[in-house]
Each structure stands twice: as structure tokens, then as C-alpha cells.
A and B are shown apart, each in its own frame.
Chain A
Amino acid sequence: MKFVAVTACPTGIAHTYMAAENLEKTAKVLGHVIKVETQGAMGIENEITPADIEGADAFILASDIAIEQIERFSGLPKIEVPVQLALKDPKSIFKKKPC
């Protein structure tokens, strides 16, 4: 499957980036394709474009805060989890049913 994802956490210093790293690592292991955008202390990085969304099957939102430009993903099935889950048990995220 093809995923797009956004990670964000309260201070945007650690968990945002760790979650992104874990999602990428796990997707690879499970044989998925993923692009993860981080919304942390450095602002938006690795920004997900309309073309990325066009080609994606589902959207993963791993965040504890309201993210910017969420409307971009309104057309995609969504898996929404706390950012911590991406650290605790990233595999389970990919098993969830998008809605």
C-alpha cells in the first residue's frame, strides 16, 4: 500500500521526528511505501504535495496536537493515532482499518 503521514507532538523537538523515523522504518519492513511529513519545531518538513496525496491509498495522522493544513487529506481514508503509538507499536498502525 501507499501511505502519506504527518507526525506532530507538543514541543516538536523529539517525538515528531522519532515517530516519522519509526513509521518509515516499519513501512519498509512491511513492504509498504510511505512519505512522512513532520510538523515540529522546524516547521513543516518533507511536505506532502497534492501529487503525493493523489497517489496514496491512506493517510496516517500520528499527532497529539492540531496539525496545519489537515484539509489537504480530506479525500483520503484516515488512520489517526497518538504520536506515542508510532514509538510503542508502529506495526499496529499499519494493521488498523482506515476510516
Chain B
Amino acid sequence: MSVQTITFEYEFVCPLPNGLHARPANCFEQVIVNFASDISVVNLNSNKKANGKSVLSLIGADIKKGDKCLVRIQGNDAKPAYDAIVEFIEHRMPDCDAALPEVVYGTNEVVLPPILEDAGVDVISGSPVVPGIGRGKAVFFEGLKLPESLDTGDFVDANEELNEVERAVSEFNSDIAANLSSGKATVIEREILDTHLSIANDVELLNEIRYLISEKGVSAGEAIVSAVEHFSKVLKMAKSKLVQERVLDLQDVYSQILKKIYHGKIDDSVKLESHSVCIAGNLTPSQFMSLDKEKLKGMVLSRAGNTSHTVILARSFGIPTLTGVGEVCLNIESGKEVIVDADLGIIVTEINEKVERYYALENRKQKAIAQKYAAFKEKPAITKDGSSIEVMANVATADEVKIAIANGAQGIGLFRTEILFMDRKEAPSEDEQFEEYRKAAENAKGNQVVIRTFDIGGDKPIGYLNLPKEENPFLGYRAVRIYREYENLFKDQLRAILRASVYGNLKLMIPMISCVEEVLWVKEKVKQVKEELDSESISYNSDIKLGIMVEVPAIAFIIPRVSKEVDFFSIGTNDLTQYLLAADRGNEKVKFLYNSNHPALLLLIKKIVDDARANGTWVGMCGEMAGKAENLPILLGLGLDEISMASPFIAGIKAECAGLDRALCEELVAKVLNCASVGQVEAVVAEQSHKDFPAVIEAGLVDLHVDCTDKAEIIKYTSDILCINGRTNYPLEIERDFWKREAAYSTGLGHGFAVPHCKSKRVKCHSICVFRLNKPIEWNAIDKKPVDVIIAMVIKDGENAGNSHMRIFSRLAKKILHEKFRNKLRALLSEREVVSFLYDQLGLTDI
């Protein structure tokens, strides 16, 4: 006798503000997964039907807020299932999608430059993590790959293939479970992991895979590719962005499962044919390294963080990179030419004439800056008054050492070794490490390379080390603190570094030191390793220098005592600032507190440098603070021996250095150390910067053959010229300040003259630019006539009224009204003549 099948139906209106996306679908699936009945959900608005037990199928039904839905339950346990579902939908469903901590992408809000805004093209915004502009064909790093050796025509043993799928999925499940229980995952990461878990085990998807294998006789790999493609299509059709976003997760999960089935046989590197912009959810460091850097012009990584290792690598290769783009980048047509502008934080997907003009101007500016910097690459960084500071590079691989030296690095101030330990099943062997360090030493061509022993733990967990779960990893078990437990690993690294030390100038540096005992312990281990090498007759540099990172504030207070034990210090400002100010720079709510101009941080660094100096110990800096040009006056004034940064910044920093005066920088530091707030420090720095640029006009600010075609281009060109001449690092903001003034009424004076002008906080000093145009342009002037001479004036905002420098502008304004002055300005033959004419007319010689 057959058991009677009962059918229950229940109608509801979706209450979820974001619709039935992955998370609520997950909850729903959990409620019903253990009932035997068939349970379907029909979106009555779109007539899309879903299997209630399949998350993918549920989210594919594209149920939005307010959609009417019908749940149909059929089977022996239909009644209890019905009760559970009604209970869930009525009582728990509305709250099952509580707001997650928001992932804030693109911290720089994108305000397009006027020309691009005017161009009316679509742009996608993202968070710039490596600056620069790159142009190339869109190449997607998505989709699933099968081993090349897999012959799709072959007969397959269905049972074997089915077993392979089961095994791979269950391996994947245990990986995720291990990851979840490690306690290292953030709330957002846990959410992703949970979603991945439900996607990997999705009933509909697995049924499809099984069906293809057993009924169609295809291999596990082909079945997976075809099933994933099918569901990707369904998800992409959804109206909800949240649902579309699951495509990347689906592909991510199953590409991992495919790798588990075919082990090392899948080659997921991509060969670039021409100039390319790579678009991916994320890239592993090894995938990145496999790309041809000559052809890789830009990257869009929708989910990589600022500190992901691929991003760190991209930074050292200078590949313009955006992250946090979201899944809109999936809509970019593969093979279409796009521009990644990581200076602005956008991807331009449509290139029209205005876009071309904008980037032609932008390119001209960047070339001019690069040309100016090129001269500094080979030279040491020397100030106007002849004092120097060593400028070195932060790197993570031996290959980068070569690039850094070519970029002008005078050595490697920080070689991060963690990357050697990441993305792998087991730690690298001593020999493997030795090869890498030897290469680094050789690539540095006699310059020093400071090798920092592994800083693992905290934000850089490593699977194979099984580090315990921690409430507060940044204040916990990381770097030197784990060396005792993993002593062999540490000693292997020391052996590798010591063995490599005969191939160049290697130094040894220990991270996260917080007390003298740690230093003494490390020295004991170094001594032991040296003795081992001696007994094995292996040569090494017995005089290798040992230094420590100064990143725990405590160590900053005992520098004189620690100086007796070490040869050098390197200040790691990223962590030092976080620890000192108790502000996580990755936390949106408190990151505004993280500021390297905090007087407490400056006082602390001053103390570190002074105490190290007094004890004759070398002291450098390797945090992000060291790579920013605007910090250089303070860094010089603090008296650091060395600063180390990502290598693309090096030439710019050296150029900046050439314009500074050490004595003035020391005066500046004396002043900022008395400040009470970040705001005061910034004001003092701004005031000082004026002294380095006394001349309001110079030949570099005059151009008698400008070929801009409209006002917007002129304003950009003016701002760019100021940037090229080192008068601002923020040309775009100057541009906006000009436009603010133009919005009041046109600055076209008649007689073919225009005087765009503004006050700006972003200019280092008062400046006047003079341009003659090859072809007159429209400026909406008083006399309605086109304009062919531009005199642009920028006043440094915040300057005291009545300052003698300001008088220049009123004098100039009055002069322009005189025909004789205008005629002369039109007739002068060279930039230099213009400068001396203005000097004379404005009485500049006497100031």
C-alpha cells in the first residue's frame, strides 16, 4: 500500500530588504534540508521556480522585496515541514538578514575630473591600491579550467568520477571547516566561507554534476564546468546585484574543487597576448608572478584587500591596481579596450574623443614627471644644503630587488619573507629559501639587503602552522613571538640567510620585538646556527649585522639598552602608529585616528632616532609613512639615516629631497614637536613648504605654444604644470579650486586675455602661470571674443592677509588692464623673456 502523499501550500510576500540572496537562502535551506518532502518555491511575480533545498536554485529565482511567493511541500513529512517553514517565514525570516558590518569600498569618493565628467562615459569606481594608469584589453581571470591533458573524448568510469567529486567536495568542506574554526576569519570572511560551504554542497548543482557523469558519460571535470556554467547563467540573469555577485563565488568554489580533483595538472596561468588589463575576483601571488609584466598594464581585483600579497607584489612592479570594484566588472566585455585609472580610482570602459584628450594630457604630465625623476634615479638623495638620506626599497621577492635597484633604490631596507611561506601546503625548505636570498643578495649588486625573518600570525595566518584561535591577533601570537614554538622553522630561515650572506651584503632583521629578552634569545639562536654551519664547514658572513623592527611602542623607550645588543633599528610605522594610537587603520570607524602627523607619534620617532644616534646605532624607517613625499621634510628633520618604500616612489622622493633644506626641516621638526594636534602639525608643515619655493613665477610655469582646445583642458594643463614643477602633489584638487571660481563668473577679461585664479590649500606656494595658445579658444569673456593668452594665478590659502607675496597678484591684476603690458606679453619670444619681464613689471627682484 502506498503511503498517501500530502501537499501543503503556503503563500508569503518577501519581507527582505535585499531580497532572497545567499544569506537568507542559506537560512531557509537549513530549515528544510532534513525533511524528506519535496519543497519548491515559486516566485509568483516572475514565475521562476526553485528547489527549496538548493541555495543556488533559490537565489536564482530572483525573489525581491515585495515579491509574492508560493511554497509547495509534497511528501510524507509535509505537515511538520509546513509548520517549520511557516514558523521560519513569519518569525525568523525578517531578521535573518541583519546588516553585516559594511564593507566600504573605494574610500576615496570618486569625483571625476571636469573633462571626464564632460565626456559622458561610463566609469566603474574602485579602491585604488597601486597608483598609475594602464590601458589594455580586458582579460578575465575567471571561469573554470581543466587540465590540458584531459581528453574529453575518453571513456570514463562513472563510479570513479563520482567518487572523485565526492572526495574533492568533502576535502573542500573540511578546509572551510578548519578555516572557520581557526578563529582568524573576520565576520565578513566567515560570511563568505559559509556561503562557499553551501555553494559547494548545493543539491541542485551536485545533482546536475552527478547526472552528467552517470547519464552523459562525461568526466568529473567536464560535468563540473558545464553545471557551473549553467548556474552562472541563471545567476547572471537575476536582477539583484547581490545574486549576480554569487557568480564569482560559485566559480571560485568549483575551481578549488577542480584543483582538488586534478591536483597539480591544472595550469591556471594566463598568457597575455597584448597590452592587457586583468580582471579577477582575486589572484594568488603565484598567478600574478606568472603574468608577463611587460604586457600587464593594469589589474582589477574585485575582492583583494590593500594588504593582500598580490597587491603588495603589484605595488612593487608598479602595476596600476584597483580593488573593491564589485561584480559590475563582470559586465565589461572581454577583449574590449579599457583604462584602469588607479590615480582616480576608476575603470573607463568606453573611450571617446574627450577621454582620449584627457588621457593624452594626463600622459603628458606623467611623462614630464617621470622624465624629471629619471635624473634622480641614479643619484643619491641630497638636500639643497648638501645633506643626504639613504633611500631604499621594500620588497617581497628576489626578482623585485632587481626592479628596485633599477628604480634607484640604494639598497633594500625591508625584504619581507612571509610571502615565501604563504599559499602553500608546507613551509619552504632551507635550500629553497637559500636560493631566494642568494638571488636577492646578487640582484642588489653590492647594496645592502635587510632580510626580515618571517612575520607570520596576526593578519598573515598560515594554514600549515596551525596557529591557535585568537581574540585579538594583532596583540597576540605573531612574528618573533612564535619563533620559540617553531624554532626549527626559524633556524632553517637563519641558516638559509647566513648561507646566502656570502653572496652579497645581507643583514638580518627581527620583527615585533617588544623586550630585550627576545633579542637575547634570537642572538643565542643565531650563535647556535653559526656554530652548526662552522661544524659543517659551510661558509657565511660571520659579521652579519643584526637589527630589529621598532613597531611595538615599548621598545622605543629602551633604545639605549637595546642598542647594546643590536646593530640597527628600522621603524615600522604602520604597526607603530596603530599600536601607539590604538587605532586599527583597517577599521572604517576609527581609521581617521590613524595619522602619521599625530604629535605623539612624531615625538616618539624623534626619541627613537635621538636615542639610537646617541648610541651610535643606525636607524631607518620602512613603513608607509616613509614613502609619501609630503612627509619628507619631517623625516629629514627627524634625522633618520634611511627611509625605505615601495620602489615606484623612490625617484620622486629623491627629487623632493633635492628641493629641501635640511636645516629648515630641522626647524620644522622643532616646531611640530610642540604642536598639540594633527591639525596644528599640518598647518606648520604647510607654512614651511612655502619657504622652499620663494619664486612666484619661473620658466617652467610659462609655455608660449600651448595647444589645448578648450577651457577645461587649459585648467587641467595649468594644474598639471604646477604639479610637474613640484608646486603641488594634488593637481586635481587645484583644478577643482579653479572651477569653483569659474562658477561665479567667467575670468575672461576681454582683449583675448583670461585670468583663471583661485585660492587653494593644496598648492605649496603662490604661483603664476603664463600661457599663449596656438589657437584661440572660447572663454565666455566680457567682450565675447575668444582668448589666446592665459595668466593663471594660484594663491596658497591660509596665508596671512597683507603678506608681501600677495601684493604681486594685485599688481599683476592691475597691469593686465594696460594695453602696453598686454602687447608686450604677446610679443615676447621666449619663456625666459616672459619671466624676466614679469619680474621687472611686478618688482619681484626686491622680495
A residues adjacent to B (C-beta < 8 A): 10-11, 13-18, 20-22, 25, 38, 40-43, 64, 84, 87-88
Contact = CB atoms under 8 A, between A and B. Distances in A.
21 contacts: A11-B758, A11-B795, A13-B757, A14-B755, A15-B813, A16-B813, A17-B811, A18-B749, A18-B817, A21-B814, A38-B810, A41-B801, A41-B809, A42-B802, A42-B810, A43-B802, A64-B744, A64-B745, A84-B782, A87-B782, A88-B750
Given A11-B757, A42-B810, 18 more contacts: A11-B758, A13-B793, A13-B809, A14-B747, A16-B810, A16-B813, A18-B749, A18-B813, A18-B814, A21-B813, A22-B817, A25-B817, A38-B810, A41-B795, A42-B803, A43-B802, A84-B745, A84-B782
A88 B749 CA distance: 8
Given A21-B813, A21-B817, A41 B758 contact: no
B491 interface: no
Contact of A13 (B745, B795, B817): B795
A13 B816 contact: no
Contacts of A41: 759, 795, 801, 806, 809
Interface of B: 741, 744-745, 747, 749-750, 755, 757-759, 782-783, 793, 795, 801-803, 806-807, 809-811, 813-814, 816-817
Contacts of B802: 42-43
B789 to A, nearest CB: 14
Given A38-B810, A42-B806, A87 B750 contact: yes
A81 to B, nearest CB: 13
A16 to B, nearest CB: 8
A88 B758 CA distance: 21
B806 A11 contact: no
A13 B749 contact: no
Contacts, number: 66
Contacts of A84: 745, 782
A87 B757 CA distance: 17
Contacts of A13: 757-759, 793, 795, 809-810, 813
Nearest to B806: A42
Ranked 8 nearest A-B pairs via Cβ: A17-B810, A17-B813, A21-B814, A43-B801, A14-B813, A88-B782, A10-B744, A13-B757
A17 B818 CA distance: 13
A14 B759 CA distance: 11
A61 B796 CA distance: 28
B782 A11 contact: no
Nearest to B793: A13
B487 to A, nearest CB: 67
A64 to B, nearest CB: 7
Nearest to A82: B745
Given A13-B757, A87-B750, A88-B782, A18 B816 contact: yes
Scoring A21, A41, A43, A88 by chain B CB atoms within 10 A of each residue's CB, the highest score goes to A41
Contacts of A87: 749-750, 782, 817
A58 B378 CA distance: 68
Contacts of A88: 750, 782-783
A11 B813 CA distance: 13
Contacts of B793: 13-14
A40 B813 CA distance: 12
A14 B757 contact: yes
Nearest to B741: A11
Contacts of B749: 18, 87
A43 B802 CA distance: 7
A14 B808 CA distance: 11
Contacts of A43: 801-802
Nearest to A9: B744
